Chain A
Amino acid sequence: MTRRRDRITEALWAYAFLAPLALGLGVFYLWPVLQTAYFSFTEWGAFGGHEWSGTANYVRLLHDPEVGRALTNTISYTALGLVSIPLAIVFAALLNRRMRGVGVYRTLFFLPVVTMPVAVAMVWRWLYNGDYGLINYLLSLVGIGGPNWIADPGTALFALVVIGVWSSLGYNLIIFLAGMQAIPADYYEAAALDGAGPVRQFARITLPLLSPTAFFVSVISVIGSLQLFDLVFVIAGSGASARANPAYPRLQTVVALFYDRAFVTNERGYAAAIVMVLLLIIAALTLVQFRLQRRWVHYA
């Protein structure tokens, strides 16, 4: 009898502990997802009212060249940004040893990760400046006339990728370092006894045992890159001023387009449809990665 009463008391306590958070998550997160899904099937009037419009937003989206461009840019940015992973593995391997100054290097690589993206974007905008930027000055020393990186449709997306890799390298490096430190030292000792050099050890021990970490990092990076917004907002602006930049068609991302439609032109139903598509793409790419992992990820 008391057993049963104890169990009821425990459950009541559990609900009490959960209640504040559950209420907040319900109101501000769970219900909004359902509402956004519903909004994607509605048309919004100028004064905030909205009415059912069936699949009209999705049909419009299929024929909207801006959506096509935003998707192309976002996916190219995401794919090119993956170069951060091999780079991070190499630097993590270089830093995964006892030597002086490891802490300092780690700190320096990590600084961009904690720096406000708005500030990062401003600094790079200045570095990329066509007339007075440091990058073009350095290029001019070796006789190259650099373009106006972020206003040139040919280089804008590439310039964005460089900023993205620069700011995420330290983050990926930390995760790989943690992964490497989890590999037992006797594996390397045994390999060394068998005469394997550092390169062979890296290829035969480190890389395979690190593949679950690499898989994890790639899933997280893809999800993050697909949501790129801050850099584009600061580098290119939004609304009318952004459209003045000839490279904007190469810079606009899905989330930047979402911001524009939801809060600049106030087409919230259409904006909701755009983020629903983003949700589907994220889910699909994550699923593909989980499927592909069987081919290259080794679980010890």
Chain B
Amino acid sequence: MLLHTVLIAASLAMVAPFLWQLVTSLKTLSEATAVPPTLLPSGRWQNYGRVFDLLPFGAQFGNTVIVALARTAGQVLLCSMAAYAFARLRFPGRKVLFGVLLSVLMVPPQLFIIPQYQIMSALGWLNTLQALIVPGLFSAFGVFLLRQFFLGLPMELEEAARLDGAGPVRIYWSIMLPLARPGLLALAVLVLLWSWNDLFWPLVVNSDPDTMPLSAGLASLQGQFQTDYPVLMAGSLLASLPVIAVFIVLQRQFIQGIAQTGIKG
């Protein structure tokens, strides 16, 4: 009983900010700034429409989805290929290359930003979607995660396939990838989440609202309309809701991915 009281109080504290966000998003400005606060809003759905007037919200939503999907697909494919080589193939320089990979993993990402920005600028990619996508196709973390996963898979199927004359490509594609599905899915949900929520990199490369993702668009709204809280709450709810929905559907994979790797973006 006491246990449930404590847990209910704590989860209320976790959820209250979201509820207040939802309630405020449906208020008029005068309701939002009333003292004492009105608990039930008058249902001003127009605030959500206002978000679309102030921002190219549809385009930014599309940008966010495209970038997140491209980065996820790229990382799952490229990292699983490299992870397969590290986990199952013998080649000179394996230890050294893996050491280099681990050292990239440990460097704080801010150290990549200035040179990455210069590359994007030299390619003429500033204010394009490629700028948001391309550096995010590669990741040392993804290789590390999937290598651990591959190392834990049984060898029998592979050996049988090798006796049947299957080469590395067949083994990778038709044996390793299907067996590693939970690991691939865990990596995919993590990359999706980080890509969706990332702010720093989009802020650096894309200043044109039409090529921004939602995170940067929303942050720009904060600067210009900092006092129109109902509209800000509506916008922040719209921008964060898709990932929350994905999380609720793929909860098990999210939690497994985090519990296994313990690494956050």
Contacts and interface: CB of A to CB of B under 8 A. Distances in A.
Interface of A: 7, 10-11, 13-15, 17-18, 20-22, 24-25, 27-33, 35-36, 39, 91, 94-95, 99, 104-120, 122-127, 129, 131-132, 134, 137, 166, 168-171, 174-175, 177-178, 216-217, 220, 223-224, 226-227, 229-230, 233-234, 237, 241, 255, 258-259, 262-263, 268, 271-272, 275-276, 278-279, 282
Contacts of A123: 17-18, 20-21, 233, 236
A27 B122 CA distance: 13
B243 A116 contact: yes
Given A29-B140, A110-B247, A114-B243, A126 B229 contact: yes
Given A14-B90, A17-B81, A116-B239, A227 B218 contact: no
A50 to B, nearest CB: 10
Contacts of A134: 16, 20, 37
A170 to B, nearest CB: 7
A272 B118 CA distance: 13
Contact of B7 (A35, A105, A229): A105
Contacts of B116: 28, 32
A275 B110 contact: yes
Given A119-B239, A132-B33, A114 B168 contact: no
Contacts of A14: 85, 89-91, 94, 168
B54 interface: no
Contacts of A271: 114
Given A20-B78, A33-B107, A174-B259, A119 B90 contact: no
A76 to B, nearest CB: 19
B219 to A, nearest CB: 5
Given A24-B78, A114-B244, A17 B108 contact: no
Contacts of B203: 233, 259, 263
Contacts of A220: 262-264
Contact of B236 (A33, A122, A216): A122
Contact of B17 (A99, A127, A234): A127
Interface string B226-265: 0001001100110110011001100100110011101110
Q: Which 8 residue pairs spanning A and B have beta carbons closest together?
A: A24-B138, A32-B115, A119-B236, A178-B259, A11-B91, A14-B91, A14-B89, A17-B85
B107 A10 contact: no
A107 B248 contact: yes
A88 to B, nearest CB: 11
A114 B14 CA distance: 13
8 contacts: A17-B168, A18-B82, A22-B82, A25-B140, A32-B111, A107-B248, A226-B108, A276-B111
Chain A binding surface SS class = helix
B10 to A, nearest CB: 6
B89 A11 contact: yes
A258 B33 CA distance: 36
Contacts of A124: 17
B114 A28 contact: no
B223 interface: yes
A276 B107 CA distance: 10
B6 interface: yes
Given A13-B167, A111-B14, A272-B114, A29 B104 contact: yes
Contacts of A24: 78, 135, 137-138
Contacts of A226: 108
A171 B258 contact: yes
B258 A109 contact: no
A262 B88 CA distance: 42
A174 B239 contact: no
Nearest to A15: B91
Contacts of B262: 175, 216-217, 220
Given A17-B168, A118-B215, A126-B24, A36 B111 contact: yes
B188 interface: no
Given A22-B82, A171-B258, A35 B115 contact: yes
A33 B112 contact: yes
A142 B111 CA distance: 48
Given A25-B101, A32-B114, A107-B248, A122 B37 contact: no
Contact of B97 (A22, A107, A120, A223): A22
B11 A105 contact: yes
A111 B15 contact: yes
B119 interface: yes
A242 to B, nearest CB: 10
Contacts of B37: 132, 134, 137
A275 B79 contact: no
